[in-house]
Amino acid sequence: MAKKSVCIVGSGNWGSAIAKIVGNNVKDSSKFEREVRMYMYEENVDGRKLTEIVNTEHENIKYLPGVKLPENVVAIPDVGAACKDADILVFVLPHQFVRSTCLKMAESVKRDAVAVSLIKGFAITDSGIKFISEIITETLGIECAVMMGANLAGEVASEQFCESTIGSKNEATGQMLKELFGTSYFRCTVVEDARTVESCGALKNVVGIGAGIVDGLGYGDNTKAAVIRLGLMEMIKFCEVFVPGSKMETFFESCGIADLVATCHGGRNRMLGESVVRTNKTIRELEKEILRGQSFQGPLVAKEIFEMFQERKWVERFPLFVAVHKICKREMEPKNFIDCLREHPEHMQ
Ligand SMILES: NC(=O)C1=CN([C@@H]2O[C@H](COP(=O)(O)OP(=O)(O)OC[C@H]3O[C@@H](n4cnc5c(N)ncnc54)[C@H](O)[C@@H]3O)[C@@H](O)[C@H]2O)C=CC1
Ligand SMILES: O=C(CO)COP(=O)(O)O
């Protein structure tokens, strides 16, 4: 069988970390082509093009400094050229850029290519929120699996042991992706319940902000554990109404509880929640100051789901998600977050 070629669509913090894994995995593979193309949104860093730096020094000095990328990973600034002829497209962009990027790819993508989304977020459309994998399938006409888990990029890049969850309706695709991504330190499990996997990835970022809020308020580990538990209950409730057939066991995979724990302790969204309490700065100002080009996904997801809850009259059912949104928008005092935990519907039964 012909070898499959891989294109990574995105090259930020996680995009670069996963490029390291994929680049190394395909090197001596009988199933995958040796060269991995990586679409890179071009920018100038220290007076040089970032693609040129990556292709000569094999390091993404802006988004994943200090980590060498395999030499068979080639950065390409034109997404159409990057994805042309690829059999596997690995999407790993901040979710707000997915649709515009897909539209630029539509002419070049192979009709029988397969996509996998590592993107934690939802898309907003005229008819409400949609899964990112759905947007990819709709705009490109191809199957799209997902991979989500407790995968803080810096730790994965330094090869610390962790797990991840591949969600694929198609068993063969799931197993192929497991081969593409799996290593001795990055263990992947394949499940069929892909929509729940994807929902967990998007929603845990909102809970991560909540964890940061209680850190900023000076509360300890018991309070943070309550945020994690109540956040999990809202994630489960969200899937009950939004993902027909969602399975409880999926929440026990890496994409569920494990990613919640990782994000609520070491994630960028946690950092944001803490800074929202400790400063008066806007989300945009904090993103610029703390992340220097990287992106917080939580505030946007909180806004997207809040608008859907309003439309469907569900606001009271998801008080933690709603409070995080309002605190990010400075429409609620951070100290009132504790009342939201105290009076949570989970305590009223
Ligand atoms: N960083 C992490 O530890 C993890 C991130 N994720 C998820 O992976 C996805 C991507 O995150 P990261 O790789 O961390 O990205 P990032 O947060 O480092 O984002 C910056 C990236 O966005 C690109 N960008 C900026 N403007 C753009 C535009 N107009 N069009 C296209 N690209 C543009 C930048 O060039 C850069 O590659 C997100 O959904 C995130 O939630 C998932 C697991 C771990
Ligand atoms: O998704 C992540 C870890 O699994 C990264 O979370 P943050 O975006 O909050 O850093």
Out of 69, 103, 118, mutate this one to test ligand 1's pocket (max ligand atoms within 8 Å of CB): namely 118
Is the C-beta atom of 259 inside 6 A of ligand 2?
A: yes
pLDDT of residue 240: 95
ipTM value of the model? Answer: 0.99
Is the C-beta atom of 269 inside 6 A of ligand 1?
A: no
Q: Where are the alpha helices (DSSP H) in the chain?
A: 13-26, 50-57, 79-83, 98-105, 132-140, 153-157, 171-181, 194-216, 221-242, 259-266, 268-278, 283-286, 298-312, 319-328, 337-342
Kindly report the length of the chain: 349
Cβ burial, residue 218 (10 Å; 0-12/13-18/19+): exposed
Binding residues for NAD(+): 10-15, 97, 153, 268, 297
Residues pairing with 283 in the sheet: none
Instruction: Compute the distance between CA of residue 64 and CA of residue 55 in angstroms, rounded to an integer.
Output: 14
Nearest-atom index, ligand 1, CA of 152: 3
Ligand 1 midpoint to CA 152 (Å): 12
Nearest-atom index, ligand 1, CA of 50: 35
Which of 157, 175, 158 lies closest to 166, judged by CA? Answer: 175
Instruction: Compute the distance between CA of residue 275 and CA of residue 244 in angstroms, rounded to an integer.
Output: 36
Residues annotated catalytic, as ranges:
204
User: pLDDT digit of tens for each residue in the chain (349 aa)?
Assistant: 899 999 999 999 999 999 999 999 999 999 999 999 999 999 999 999 999 999 999 999 999 999 999 999 999 999 999 999 999 999 999 999 999 999 999 999 999 999 999 999 999 887 778 999 999 999 999 999 999 999 999 999 999 999 999 999 999 999 999 999 999 999 999 999 999 999 999 999 999 999 999 999 999 999 999 999 999 999 999 999 999 999 999 999 999 999 999 999 999 999 999 999 999 999 999 999 999 889 999 999 999 999 999 999 999 999 999 999 999 999 999 999 999 999 999 998 7
CA angle 186/190/193 to nearest 5° reads 135
Ligand 1 midpoint to CA 229 (Å): 27
Ligand 2 midpoint to CA 110 (Å): 31
Instruction: Compute the distance between CA of residue 46 and CA of residue 42 in angstroms, rounded to an integer.
Output: 13
Nearest-atom index, ligand 2, CA of 205: 9
Backbone angles phi, psi at 183, to 5 degrees: -140, 180
Out of 152, 162, 297, 324, mutate this one to test ligand 2's pocket (max ligand atoms within 8 Å of CB): namely 152
Tokens for 72? 């068979």
Is the C-beta atom of 202 inside 6 A of ligand 2?
A: no
Q: Report long-range pairs for 281-290 (Cβ below 8 Å, ≥24 apart).
A: 282/330, 283/328
> What is the per-residue pLDDT across 19-32, written as a single tens digit (0 to 9) for each?
999 999 999 999 99
Binding residues for substrate: 120, 268-269
Cβ burial, residue 78 (10 Å; 0-12/13-18/19+): middle
Q: Give CA 151 to chain center in angstroms.
A: 9
Pairing of strands 122-125, 114-117: unpaired
Nearest-atom index, ligand 1, CA of 296: 17
Backbone angles phi, psi at 118, to 5 degrees: -105, 15
Cβ burial, residue 172 (10 Å; 0-12/13-18/19+): exposed
**Residue 326, number of CB atoms within 10 A of its CB:** 18
Ligand 1 midpoint to CA 110 (Å): 24
Q: Which ligand is nearest to the CA of 16?
A: 1
Strand order from edge to edge, sheet including 4-9: 73-76, 32-39, 4-9, 88-91, 114-117, 143-148, 162-167, 186-191
Out of 8, 21, 41, mutate this one to test ligand 1's pocket (max ligand atoms within 8 Å of CB): namely 41
Ligand 1 midpoint to CA 346 (Å): 34
pLDDT of residue 43: 97
Protein residue with its CA nearest to atom 24 in ligand 1: 41
Protein residue with its CA nearest to atom 8 in ligand 2: 268
Whether this model's pTM surpasses 0.95: yes
Backbone angles phi, psi at 255, to 5 degrees: -65, -20
Instruction: Compute the distance between CA of residue 268 and CA of residue 153 in angstroms, rounded to an integer.
Output: 11
pLDDT of residue 129: 84
Is the C-beta atom of 109 inside 6 A of ligand 1?
A: no
